[in-house]
């Protein structure tokens, strides 16, 4: 039987699956992450430059808000990434609980500070947008409050992890916290529909045409991709640090 036809069978599928699962091994993932991180950093820098150029020099001035609307090019990508990273983090935590893969927990730990960073950027840039447009830095409306809660969830995750000395126990506790916190994600997303909020509704949706100029949308999407590449690059570098730290912990226990 030829090699091509055998790869279509169940054995081939299993072999393909195990090939991917091999990268769940820290020893194989570590060098791969080291090779990939610089490419993701480079992609992030290039996409950010393109996004900033489109956002500041190509996109037109908004008819209603004037120049201040350009905060959208950092606020919206940061807000999207804050929710997306939390979702990915929770998925890694679920994998860690179900499959007991240690790398999944480490990826969740590596993503948490970056998720908190994007949440903080979304909140700060939102406040700086709120003052000139709403006349206030902050209101306790559903969207803003649930986003603030997301920041506390990220900070809680980081604090809980550093508060428990034994890594396995810390991973389990953090995984439970992250999974419980996913309840907040639909609350953030649908808050502008469920409640009467000062925050505007969604301008970009997967099911409807965008309510903004194409160049504005292009700048926003480029910045979102830049943030995405940055998050991957930083997570890869951080997970390598975690792997080295855990490696030392293993050596220390062996010598004790």
Partner 1 sequence: MTLLHEIFAGGHGSFVAAAFASAFVLVGAELLMLRRRSRRTKGLPPP
Q: Which pair of structure tokens corresponds to residue 78?
A: 């940061």
b/e 117-140 (16+ beta carbons within 10 angstroms → b):
bbbebbbebbeebbeeeeeeeeee
Closer CB to partner 1, 30 or 152, in the complex: 30
Asked whether position 82 contacts partner 1 by CB under 8 A, the answer is: no
Nearer to partner 1, 87 or 132 (CB): 132
16 part of the interface to partner 1, by CB under 8 A: no
Binding status of residue 124 toward partner 1 by CB under 8 A: yes
Total site size for partner 1, rule CB under 8 A: 38
> In whole angstroms, how close is the CB of 179 to partner 1 at the nearest point?
25
Part of the chain binding partner 1 (CB under 8 A), chosen from 82-90, 129-137, 161-169, 171-179: 129-137
Helices vs strands, H then E, count in the chain:
9, 0
Residue of 218, 235, 212, 204 lying closest to 47 (CA atoms): 218
Q: Taking CB under 8 A as the rule, does residue 243 contact partner 1?
A: yes
What separation in angstroms does the CA of 53 have from each of 49, 62, 138, 238?
6, 16, 29, 29
Q: Which two tokens stand for residue 204?
A: 């970009």
Give Cα separations from 9 to 19, 21, 22, 86, 159 (angstroms).
Answer: 16, 19, 20, 37, 47
Pick from 14, 131, 136, 193: which binds partner 1 (CB under 8 A)? 131
Please report, as ranges, the residues that interact with partner 1 according to CB under 8 A.
Answer: 26-27, 30-31, 56, 61, 66-68, 70-71, 74-75, 78, 113-114, 117, 120-121, 124-125, 128-129, 131-132, 230, 234, 237-238, 240-241, 243-248, 251
């Amino acid at each position: 039987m030829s090699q091509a036809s055998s790869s279509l069978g169940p054995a081939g599928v299993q072999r393909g699956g195990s090939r991917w699962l091999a990268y769940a091994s820290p020893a194989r993932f570590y060098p791969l992450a080291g090779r990939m991180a610089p490419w993701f950093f480079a992609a992030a820098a290039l996409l950010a430059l393109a996004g900033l150029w489109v956002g500041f020099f190509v996109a037109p001035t908004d008819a209603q808000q004037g120049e201040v609307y350009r905060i959208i090019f950092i606020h919206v990508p940061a807000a999207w990434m804050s929710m997306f990273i939390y979702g990915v983090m929770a998925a890694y935590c679920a994998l860690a609980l179900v499959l007991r893969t240690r790398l999944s927990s480490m990826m969740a730990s590596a993503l948490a500070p970056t998720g908190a960073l994007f949440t903080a950027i979304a909140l700060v840039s939102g406040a700086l947008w709120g003052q000139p447009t709403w006349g206030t830095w902050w209101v306790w409306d559903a969207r803003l409050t649930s986003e603030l809660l997301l920041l506390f969830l990220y900070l809680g995750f980081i604090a809980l992890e550093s508060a428990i000395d034994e890594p396995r126990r810390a991973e389990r506790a953090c995984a439970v916290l992250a999974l419980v916190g996913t309840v907040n994600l639909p609350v953030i997303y649908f808050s502008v529909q469920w409640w009467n909020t000062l925050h505007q509704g969604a301008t970009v949706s997967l099911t409807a045409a965008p309510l903004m100029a194409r160049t504005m949308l292009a700048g926003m999407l480029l910045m979102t991709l830049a943030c995405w590449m940055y998050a991957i690059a930083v997570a890869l570098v951080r997970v390598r640090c975690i792997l080295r730290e855990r490696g030392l912990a293993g050596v220390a226990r062996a010598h004790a």
